[in-house]
Structure 1
C-alpha cells in the first residue's frame, strides 16, 4: 500500500520500570535451580466468551465483539494468512504490489471510487484506512463510524471486495509500478532505513525469508507480466486463508449477518496450493555485522540470543509469559542501576526477551541486549558490561529480594489493568483476534488473566524463574550487530574483538549484590506542633489556622 510497515527492532525494549532506593551493600547469593519441580498438567486457555468466533462454509473465519471504546466507531479488519513467502521467483514483491492494487479498483468500487467514498465518510487514507504486507500475512484495516448505517454496512462490502474482487486492471497495474518503486527509493533516504536494508537480509540469512523481502526486486517490479500478479491474487486470496474481524460499538447479530451476506459467495480455487511454511537457519558460531552510515547519530551495539518459541496457547505457556516478564523487569532494573552508577561509558543499556525482531518471523524469540555507547571507543567496555550482566543472570540467577520486589510491582500492575478492563480500545481486541487467526494464540478473558496471574504470583518459585533466565543466554544462534556513524569507523571494535567480548564477558562474574536500605526514611520523627489560633470567614467558607511554628 501507500504506507507499509516492516518491523526491524534494533533498539527497542519494554520494561516495568524499577523503583529502588539503595545504599548498603549486602552480598546475597540467589538459589539456582538444578532441577525444577514438575509442573501441573497444562491445559488449553479458555477463549473469552465475549468474542463470537465463526466459520463460513467456504472456510473464512470471523471474530465479532461489541466494544464501546471508542463510542460510535468500529475496527474492521481483513486478515490474510499469506505474504511474500508465498511468492515465486517471478513474483518477487507482488504480495505487496497486490495490497496496493486493492485500492486501485475492485468489482464494486472501480478505480479510486473506494477511497473517494471513504474520505467523504470521514475515513482518512493512510491515517485510518491502511494495510501492510509481511512475510506471512497481509492485513487491511478499516476504522469506520457506526452512527451511519449506510457507511457501516458499506464497510463490509469493501472488505469483501479486497478479499476476492480486486479487478487487477492492466493499466492500473502499470501505473502502480512507479509508485512502488518510488516507495522503495524513499526507504533509502534516512540512516535508519539504509542500515535496515543491509541488516534485514543478514538477520534472516540462509533462509527463504532473506529471499522474500516484501518490497521485492526492482527488476521484477518493472518487468513482470500482468498474469503473474493476477495468478498470485487468485491463488492466495481465498476464504480458507482469510479472516474478518469486527470490534466496535454495534449490534453483533447485525454484524454476523453482514459478514455472511458479503463473504459467503467467495470461492476457493478448485486445486488450492498448499500454504508453505519456513523457518530461520541455525548458526552454530556467532554471526557478526558492522554497519556505518554518515547520518547515524549514535554508536549502538546489540547481541541477540535467538531460540525457537511457540504461541501462548496453554496454561503452561501463560505461566512462561509471566516468568519472562519477571526476568525482563529484574534484568532491566540491574541495567538501570548500572547506567545510573556511571561506572561504564554508556548512555543506554537494555535487555529484553521478546518475539524476534518484533514478531517479524513466526516461531522465533530472542533475548536482545542493546547498548548505546558514548563514543565508538567505548563500545567494547559498554558491551562487555551488559554481556557480563547476562552471564551473571545465567550463572547465578536473581536474588530473593529482587524476586519479591518484582512480584509486588507486577501484582500492582495486574490490579491496575483489571480496574481499567472496560476502557480497552477496540484496536487492542482486534490484534488479539488477528494473532489467534494467524498463529493460534489464545484469547483469554480479562477475568482469566487477572485470576491466573494473581495465582501464578503466589505459586511461581524463584528457582523456576532462574531456570528460565539461564535458558535465555543461548550458546548458539547468537548475532552481534554494531551500528555507528561513518566518521567513527576507524575506532570501532573489529569482528575478532567483538567475538572475544562475547567469549570473555562472563569471566570472573560474581553473584549480584543487593543494595538494601536498612534505615527508616526519616531517622527521627519530628515533634508535632499545635494550633495556636483559628479564624473563620463564613462568607467565603474559609478557615485560617495558625500553627505554633508561626
Structure 2
C-alpha cells in the first residue's frame, strides 16, 4: 500500500528558489532527550548497540492483543533514477520469501491458522520518506508472537528477493499503478510539474515509473535494501496487553545481531523550488474533477527547531488565526447565494524541509470567478483588522475542550492507534506525550493567547511572500490563467471592512417543554441492547459499551429518506 498525500497539500506546494536538503534519517537520540516536554511515562524507549531504536507501551485495549510496527526511515526519495518505484516494490517483496519463511504460501498458511489475516492484520505502506510494516496480532500466544517477531526481523535483513518472485510481482505492481490512475494522481502530477519542477519530490512518486517496474534487475532491489534497510534507520514499536520487560528482552534477542553496512545510503538532495516571482497563477484540469477549488499560498524552506514547550506554544497564535479564518468561511458558505461551499486556512510541513501556508475554498458549481474575491478579501480582512474577542474565546474553548476530551478517553485508546501515533512521532521528531502532558502545554498556550499575538502571527506568516493562486476545475476556462490573475488583482482594489463584532448570546434551547414518558421497554440480552418507545412514538436503541471511555455516540434517523419524497 502507498500512503497518500493530503489533497490540500498537493494544491498548495508553491515556489521559491531555495535549496532543500533532507537530513540523514539516522537519529542517535530520542527527541525527549533534548526537550523539556515530559515524554509519556508509560512508554519505554531504548536504542540497541547497532543503532536500532525501540518503543514499548503496555495497553490493554483490546485485551490479549499486541500491535507491532517496524518503521524504516527510507522511502521513494532515497531511490536513484533507475530505482524509481523500487522502495514500494520492495515493500511487496518482503512478503514474498525470506530467511525464516522462504515459502510464501507456507507463511500465509501459518498466518491464517493463527488468525492473522493479510490486509486487516498484516499490512505495510511506502511514502516519500518512510516505509512502515504493520502486524496486529489477534492473540499473545507464544506461537503467534514468535511468528510476528520472526517476520519483522526478516523484513529488516532477511528478504530473499529472488529473481523469480520479482518477475511474479511485476504484474501486481503494474496493476496497482494502473488502479491509481485517479483524478487525484493526475492532478498531483500536473501540480507538482508546475509548482516544483526541479524538486526531487516531483520525480519520486512512490508508485514509480512503468519502465523501472517492468525492467529493474535484482541488483537494483538488493542495492536499495542493503543501503537503506539498516538498523540505524529502523525503529521497532510494540503496543499491547503485554509485559514490557519480557518484550524488551525479546527485542534485544531478535534484532541485536543486525549489522549496519560500511557505507550506508546517503540522504537525498531535494532540489530547488522557484523564487522571486512575486505572484503567479495556474489552472489545473481533469475531466473527473468534482468541484472547482481555489487556492492561494506560498512555500519556503522549513527551519527545524527542537520540540520544546516554548516552540509548541509559539505555534498556537497562528493555529488559532487559521482556525478563525476557517470558521469565517464556514459562516460565509451557509449564507444564501454564497459562491463558496467551504474554505480553510492552514500551515503545513513536509519532510522537515518545506513549510507552506494556504488559503483555499471550494466554489459552488459555476461560480469560481465570484469565489476568488471571497478568498482574497477574507484573508486580507484578517491581515488588516485581525480578530474579535468573541472569535478568540470560542476557538480557545474548542482547543481546551479537545485536549480535555483526549485526557478523558486516554484509558480506552486502541493499541493499533497508539502504535501509529508512535510511528508518526518518528519522522516529525516530536516527543510522544501523554494526553495529560498535552493538556498541560495546551492550557499554557491558550492562557498566553491574545488578539494581538494572533494578528501578528498571521501578518508575519504572510509577509513578503511569493504567492501562487491556482484553480482546479473539470475543464480549463478559456484564458483561465490570465482571468484568474486579473480577478485576484481586481479584488485587491476593493476595500474590506473590519469583522463584525457580535455580542455574546446565551444558548437558545433551554426549554424543551413537558417531559414525555417511556411507554415500552424491551431488553435484548444476547446483544446487550435496551429498546424503548416514548410517548411521542420515538423509538430508541441503547447499548452500553466500555471501549471508548467518557464518550457517547448518538445516531438519529428521520423518516424514510428519498423514498417518501413526492415525484415532483
| Superposed pair shares fold, TM > 0.5 | yes
Structure of higher RCO (CA pairs closer than 8 Å, 6+ residues apart) = 1
Structure 1 pair 401/240, CA: closer, same or farther in 2 (3 Å)? same
CA distance in 2, matches of 1:520, 1:158: 57
Structure 2 residue matching 1:305: 3-state secondary structure: strand
Among residues 322, 327, 334, which one is paired with 1:333 in the alignment? 327
* Cα distance in 2, alignment partners of residues 325 and 79 from structure 1: 29
1:184-223 counterparts in 2 under 5 A? 184-188=177-181, 190-223=182-215
Query: For 1:34-82, what per-residue CA distance to the aligned partner results, in whole angstroms no more than 9, with x for missing partners?
Result: xxxxxxxx96323222111111111100011111122222221110111
Distance 1:446 1:403 in 2: 23
Q: How far 1:186 moved relative to its partner?
A: 1.5
- In 2: Cα distance, 1:131 partner to 1:163 partner: 13
- Contact 2:281–2:470 under 8 Å retained in 1: yes
Alpha-carbon distance in 2 for matches of 1:287, 1:5: 30
Q: How far 1:282 moved relative to its partner?
A: 4.3
**In 2: Cα distance, 1:44 partner to 1:94 partner:** 40
| Closer/same/farther in 2, CA of residues 322 and 315 from structure 1, 3 Å limit | same
- Equivalents in 1 of 2:249, 2:363: separation in Å? 57
Cα RMSD over matched residues? 2.8
Structure-2 separation of matches of 1:365 and 1:185: 31
Contact in 2 for aligned 1:45/1:315 (Cα 8 Å): yes
Structure-2-length-normalised TM-score? 0.79
User: What's the CA shift for 1:124?
Assistant: 2.4
Q: Which residue of 2 aligns with 1:7?
A: 5
Contact conserved, 2:67 with 2:136, CA < 8 A, in 1? yes
Shift of 1:147: 3.5
1:84 aligns with 2:76: yes
Is structure 2 residue 439 aligned with structure 1 residue 453? no
Determine if contact 1:296/1:485 at 8 Å carries over to the other structure: yes
Determine if the alignment matches structure 1 residue 50 to structure 2 residue 42.
yes
Q: How does 1:522-537 map to 2 (within 5 A)?
A: none
Tell me whether 1:344 sits opposite 2:338 in the alignment: yes
Cα drift, residue 520 of structure 1: 9.0
Distance in 2 (CA, whole Å) between partners of 1:192 and 1:52 is: 40
User: For residues 6-405 of structure 1, what are the structure 2 equivalents within 5 Å?
Assistant: 6-10=4-8, 44-112=36-104, 113-188=106-181, 190-276=182-268, 278=270, 281-285=273-277, 286-307=279-300, 308=302, 310=304, 313-355=307-349, 359=350, 361-376=351-366, 378-405=367-394
Counterpart secondary structure, 2:270: coil
Match of 2:460 among 439, 449, 471: 471
What's the counterpart of residue 515 of structure 1?
A: 502
In structure 2, what is the Cα distance between the partners aligned to 1:344 and 1:472?
28
**Counterparts of 2:430 and 2:207 in 1: how far apart (Å)?**
27
Partner SS state of residue 124, structure 2: strand
State whether residues 390 and 502 of structure 2, in contact with CA within 8 Å, keep that contact through their aligned partners in structure 1.
no
Give the distance between the partners of 2:51 and 2:354, measured in 1 at CA. Answer: 28
Quick check: 1:283–1:476 contact (8 Å CA) kept in 2?
no
Q: Partner residue of 1:497?
A: 483
TM-aligned CA distance change 1:344 to 1:432, over 3 Å = same
TM-score by structure 1 length? 0.82
Residue 518 (structure 1) shift: 6.3
Task: Give deviations 1:518-537, integer Å, cap 9, x for gaps.
Answer: 699599x99x99xxxxxxxx
SS of 1:499's equivalent in the other structure is helix
Provide the C-alpha distance between the structure 2 equivalents of 1:6 and 1:280, rounded to a whole number of angstroms. Answer: 23
Matches within 5 A, 1:406-425: 406-425=395-414
The whole-number CA distance in structure 1 between the counterparts of 2:244 and 2:129 is: 29
Report deviation, 1:312. 6.7
Given that residues 332 and 340 in structure 2 are in contact (C-alpha distance below 8 angstroms), is that contact kept between their aligned partners in structure 1?
A: no
Q: Is the 8 A contact 1:70 1:426 kept in 2?
A: yes
Q: Output the CA distance in 1 between the equivalents of 2:352 and 2:3.
A: 16
Distance 1:124 1:321 in 2: 42
The aligned counterpart of 1:444 is 433
Contact residue 11 and residue 370 of structure 1 kept, 8 A = no
Q: What is the alpha-carbon distance in structure 2 between the residues aligned to residue 122 and residue 497 of structure 1?
A: 59
Distance of aligned partners of 1:402 and 1:270 in 2 relative to their CA distance in 1, 3 Å threshold:
same
CA distance in 1, matches of 2:112, 2:463: 51
Query: Where in structure 1 are there 5+ consecutive unaligned residues?
Result: 14-41, 530-550
Q: Aligned pairs, how many?
A: 488
Aligned-pair CA distance for 1:198: 2.7
Deviation at 1:93, TM superposition (A): 1.4
Q: Which residue of 2 aligns with 1:532?
A: none
- 1:444 to partner: Cα distance: 2.2
Asked whether the equivalents of residues 306 and 474 of structure 1 are also in contact (C-alpha less than 8 Å), the reply is no
SS of 1:367's equivalent?
A: strand
Unaligned runs of 5+ in 2: 12-33, 515-568
Q: In the aligned structure 2, how far is the partner of 1:221 from the partner of 1:372?
A: 37
Q: 1:122 to 1:321 in 2, by over 3 A?
A: farther
1:289–1:100: structure 2 CA closer, same or farther, 3 Å change rule? farther
Residues 3-25 of structure 1, C-alpha deviations (whole Å, 9 max, x = no match): 22231423899xxxxxxxxxxxx
Q: In structure 2, what is the Cα distance between the partners aligned to 1:520 and 1:423? A: 32
Q: 1:457 to 1:49 in 2, by over 3 A?
A: same
Q: 1:183 Cα shift?
A: 1.3
Map of 2:416 onto structure 1: 427
**1:275: how far off?**
2.8
